[in-house]
Chain A
Amino acid sequence: MAEHVILFAGPMGAGKTTAIESLSEIETIRTEATNTDRETADKDTTTVALDYGEITVGDDDKVRLYGVPGQRRFNFMWTILKERAVGLVLLVNNDAADPIRELDEFLEEFGELHEKGGIVVCVTRSDVAPTPYLDKYAERIREVMPGRMIPVFTADARNGDQMRTALMSLIANIEITAMIADNQERAA
């Protein structure tokens, strides 16, 4: 049985907790606190440590889903959780003040996960804010991480099917990366 640890990262209010909730087959573990930073995101609560959920893929591959807090003041949790992760679902809410800058910042922080397995970008809340369009995200990814294959989706974090599509795409990338590494090792 293979196990994958996947991180869900992105700015506060992008839908990380909701995405894990909609994907998980177990009751999720949440660590939310009353949000006193309404200027950044107008919501009642915010994740301050992690979210955790699990999903089985294929016959018996277990995928552990960890959500990290969106605020930089919790970046010690980013470091802790990054260590075991082999992939990243990066959620960016399109209604953020500057979503492309958010994309930049999170790719800078978590970009190394591409080498460990893969990254997918999910643009959320595009129903609320239709722009920037996906090609802007794709263009920026090509600029900051040239030569890397990073799929970009629009997704509603509440929609389990949409989130599953993004997750499956990531897992396929992780498995291909692992297979290539395996072949290279054997050839060497």
Chain B
Amino acid sequence: MTEQVSAQQVSAHKDPVVIAFANEVLDGFSDVCKSLRYATFLTDDGFEVASIAGDEKQNRRVASMASSMQALGDAVARDLRIGGAEYIIIAAETGYVIQMRVPEHAMVLAAHFDAAETVGKALSVARLAASNMRTMVQEKAA
């Protein structure tokens, strides 16, 4: 379970300003990483905030699944007493998914890359996107 509380008063997925931030960050994300096939910001409890690519139904479903995955990752890390889960990688035959929490916020970034990308670069740009999202939300709250 995440302990951090988002600075925003309205839930992220219902806050038009946060949704606009998320769209802006995702646009920048796809500009710097051509192997990005799909990405979504979601609330910890599985509501889509914003996505690039994908249809509405798929985006909602991915948001729910990514929320469950994040919570399972946290539960494993907690049970093994190895600290908080930083990120989760699902490697498949033709690509992989990286997901990580937006630092200090009850929000998660899930991104699907094709196999052409190196895990290192994908991880690095995903971190940057999550960090940018945190900065924007914090600036809004300030």
> Given the complex of chains A and B, what is the CA–CA distance between A37 and B6 in angstroms?
14
B97 to chain A, nearest CB (A): 15
The answer to whether B128 has its CB under 8 Å from any CB of chain A is no
Interface majority SS (helix, strand, loop, mixed), chain A: strand
| Residue in contact with A33 in the complex, picked from B11, B45, B61, CB distance below 8 Å | B45
Q: Which of B12, B43, B64 contacts A76 (CB 8 A)?
A: B64
Contact A36 B11 (CB under 8 A): yes
Contact assessment for A33 and B64 in the assembled complex, using a CB-CB cutoff below 8 Å: no
Residues of A within 8 A of B43 (CB): 33-34, 36
In Å, the complex CA distance between A33 and B69 comes to 11
Question: Does B72 reach chain A (CB closer than 8 Å)?
Answer: yes
- Count how many chain B residues have C-beta atoms less than 8 Å from C-beta atoms of the other chain: 27
User: Cβ of B112 < 8 Å from any Cβ of A?
Assistant: no
> How distant is the Cα of A69 from the Cα of B46 in the complex, in angstroms?
11
Decide: B2 and A34 in contact? CB cutoff 8 A. Answer: yes
B45 with A34: CB separation less than 8 A: yes
Q: Which of B61, B67, B68, B72 has the most CB of A within 10 A?
A: B68
Count of chain A residues near B, Cβ 8 A: 20
- Give the residue name and chain of the A residue nearest to B76 (CB): A29
Please determine whether A36 and B47 come into contact, CB atoms closer than 8 angstroms.
yes
Kindly identify, within residues 1 to 35 of chain B, every residue whose CB is under 8 Å from any CB belonging to chain A. 1-2, 5-6, 11-13
Decide: B65 and A76 in contact? CB cutoff 8 A. yes
CB <8 Å contact, A29 and B71:
no
Min C-beta distance of B94 to chain A, whole Å: 21
Q: Is B134 located at the chain interface by the 8 A CB criterion? A: no
Chain B CB within 8 A of A177 CB = no
Q: A34-B5, A36-B13, A74-B67 are in contact. List 17 more A-B contacts (CB 8 A).
A: A31-B1, A31-B71, A32-B71, A33-B1, A33-B106, A34-B1, A34-B43, A35-B45, A36-B43, A37-B11, A45-B1, A48-B67, A48-B70, A49-B72, A49-B75, A69-B68, A77-B68
Binding site for A on B (CB under 8 A): 1-2, 5-6, 11-13, 43-47, 60-61, 63-65, 67-72, 74-75, 79, 106
Of the A-B pairs whose beta carbons lie under 8 Å apart in the complex, a sample of 8, sorted by A's number, is: A30-B75, A31-B68, A36-B11, A36-B13, A48-B64, A48-B70, A73-B63, A73-B64
